[in-house]
Amino acid sequence: MRSRLLLLALATGSLILVAFLIPLALLLRSTAAEHASDQAATQAQSVASLVATLDQRQLPLVVDQGGRQMTVFMPDGSVIGHPAPEDAAVSLAATGRSLTAQAPGGREVLVAVAGLPRGTAVVRAFVTNAELQQGVTRSWLILGAVGAGLLAVSAAVAALLAKSITRPLSALVGTADAMAAGDLDVRAADQGAPEIRHVGRALNRLAGRITELLRHERETVADLSHRLRTPLTALRIDVESLPDTEDSQRIVDGLDGLERAVTEIIRTARRTDADPEKAHCDAAAVVAERAAFWAALAEDQDRRMLVDVPPTAVPVGATADDVAVCVDTLLDNVFTHTPEGTLMAVELVATGAGGARLTVADAGPGFPDATAAARRGTGSRPHSTGLGLDIARRVAVGTGGTLVLGASRFGGAAVIAEFGPPAGGAQAVPRHVRRVLRRTERR
């Protein structure tokens, strides 16, 4: 925008200067020509006053002293001074009329001298083109320099004005970008032209309204999630009253996972100032721990569960709870939508740009429509809402990664979640987790 304002100012200034300088340049050229003609006329008048008084033998000396091409046409036809043709203008001046006429190479000034015994003499002063344009080039150069200086001044003034206009706009754009990045506390400064200030105030009102809506949504979600604690507590009491068997323990573990999920929902809903720079964990440790947790259910269902997790730390830009929720969601999908005994695999690899890639694959029927399965609230598998995949997708996207659905190498479904790198590192996989991991792989 600043460049356009500068171009507009330069274009306007150029038009004004052209409209002013061209007539002035023409006037200077005309003035210089008239000044040279006036000097020639003065000299011709001086010679004319001597033609009638001096002897014809002394007249050539006076004519040659003028320093100009002076010619005197006497009434008897003789020519004194610089040789010159007797053209039509000279003949007209011989009738007693003084005049100025154009001639080849310049301009001739003719002065008639009447009252001589034999008729009228004509004094001719010739002005060359160089004399007519003497000083014009220098004057035009001065005008050009003045015009260039005025253009430079107008450009400098236009730059200052453009800066005063674009600086508030740039600040407004920066505020909008910060809001788009998630910082809803930033506000636009009340500066600039009235229109810019009006836009800034409207943007501030919009940010305030968005903050209110988000706060209301978080409170609503947190409230709904909090209400789930009551039936969960009642369900835990009922389960704890059951005999202490392997099935009851598995139900208790499932309730623990559900309570953790509800707690995470409440915490996430109430988190208004999450700092992505502080979110990090060791994905290898989390994936290994969750794979070991699900391995017991896989063994009960005669499922072969392949787990491939690096023994060293794999830091990602997400919290351990978020990664655990993502892993639990993807594994739960496998157990829910594939028959018992179906092969499944969990693989975690560190990416070259930092972060990690988590792949959960199975040998089941796969995704009839992977595009529909990836959409929020829809699912291509029977009795599926698609919300679980959306949870996993939001965790991956929140770290700057992606979630991709496709076919596995076993002929079933595969879900690939990529997690972005964190701001800090993570610790190595704990020793007890590696032991659990090796036992799971042997199964």
Instruction: Sketch the domain layout of the chain as residue ranges.
Output: 2-137, 194-273, 278-442
What is the arithmetic mean of pLDDT over 380-408? 75
283-300 vs 246-270: helix crossing angle, rounded to 10: 150
What is the arithmetic mean of pLDDT over 257-271? 67
The confidence score (pLDDT) of residue 350 equals 92
What is the arithmetic mean of pLDDT over 239-253? 76
What is the arithmetic mean of pLDDT over 126-148? 88
The confidence score (pLDDT) of residue 388 equals 67
Q: Give the phi and the psi of residue 391 in degrees, each rounded to 5.
A: -60, -45
Classify 86 as helix, strand or coil: coil
Give the other-Cβ count within 10 Å of 415's Cβ.
28
Cα–Cα dist 339/69, whole Å: 121
Q: Would you say 309 and 346 are in contact if contact means Cβ atoms under 8 Å apart?
A: yes
The confidence score (pLDDT) of residue 266 equals 65
The confidence score (pLDDT) of residue 261 equals 72
Q: Give the phi and the psi of residue 97 in degrees, each rounded to 5.
A: -120, 120
The confidence score (pLDDT) of residue 182 equals 77
Q: Give the phi and the psi of residue 207 in degrees, each rounded to 5.
A: -65, -40
Whether the predicted pLDDT of 311 surpasses 70: yes
**pLDDT category of residue 264 using cuts at 50, 70 and 90:** low
Whether the predicted pLDDT of 267 surpasses 80: no
The confidence score (pLDDT) of residue 441 equals 43
Query: Model confidence over 288-299: pLDDT tens digits?
Result: 999 999 998 899
Check residues 179 and 248 and name the one with the higher pLDDT.
Answer: 179
The confidence score (pLDDT) of residue 273 equals 46
Cα 332 off chain centre by: 45
**pLDDT category of residue 425 using cuts at 50, 70 and 90:** very low
CA dihedral 260, 262, 267, 271 (to 10 degrees): 140
For the chain, the residue count is 443
Q: Give the phi and the psi of residue 45 in degrees, each rounded to 5.
A: -65, -40
Torsional class of 194: left (φ above 0), alpha (ψ -120 to 50), beta (otherwise): alpha
Highest mean pLDDT among 72-76, 167-171, 218-222, 300-304: 300-304
pTM of the model: 0.44
Whether the predicted pLDDT of 383 surpasses 70: no
The confidence score (pLDDT) of residue 370 equals 52
Whether the predicted pLDDT of 263 surpasses 80: no
Cα–Cα dist 218/385, whole Å: 22
Q: Where are the alpha helices (DSSP H) in 65-135?
A: 88-93, 129-132
2-137, CATH topology level: Beta-Lactamase (3.30.450)
Check residues 239 and 18 and name the one with the higher pLDDT.
Answer: 18
Whether the predicted pLDDT of 108 surpasses 70: yes
> Where is 106: in which H helix or E strand?
strand 106-116
The confidence score (pLDDT) of residue 372 equals 47
The confidence score (pLDDT) of residue 343 equals 94
Distances (CA, A) of 160 to 153, 173, 188, 279: 11, 20, 22, 45
Strand-pairing partners, residue 258, are none
List, in order, residues 6 or more apart from 230 with CB less than 8 Å away.
Answer: none
Q: How many CA atoms lie within 13 A of 318 on its CB side?
A: 31
Whether the predicted pLDDT of 249 surpasses 90: no
What is the arithmetic mean of pLDDT over 300-324? 90
Whether the predicted pLDDT of 349 surpasses 90: yes
What is the arithmetic mean of pLDDT over 68-96? 86
Alpha carbon distance, N-terminus to C-terminus of the chain: 67
Least confident of 33-37, 65-69, 88-92, 153-157: 65-69
**Which strands form 106-116's sheet, in the order they lie side by side?**
79-81, 69-73, 119-128, 106-116, 99-103
CATH of domain 278-442: 3.30.565.10
Mean pLDDT of all residues belonging to the chain: 81
194-273, CATH topology level: Helix Hairpins (1.10.287)
Whether the predicted pLDDT of 43 surpasses 80: yes
Cα–Cα dist 258/393, whole Å: 19
**pLDDT category of residue 304 using cuts at 50, 70 and 90:** very high
Whether the predicted pLDDT of 385 surpasses 50: no
Of 316, 282, 284, nearest to 399 by C-alpha is 316
> Where is 213: in which H helix or E strand?
helix 194-227
Highest mean pLDDT among 17-21, 61-65, 423-427: 17-21
Q: Would you say 40 and 139 are in contact if contact means Cβ atoms under 8 Å apart?
A: no
Cα–Cα dist 11/158, whole Å: 11
Whether the predicted pLDDT of 373 surpasses 60: no
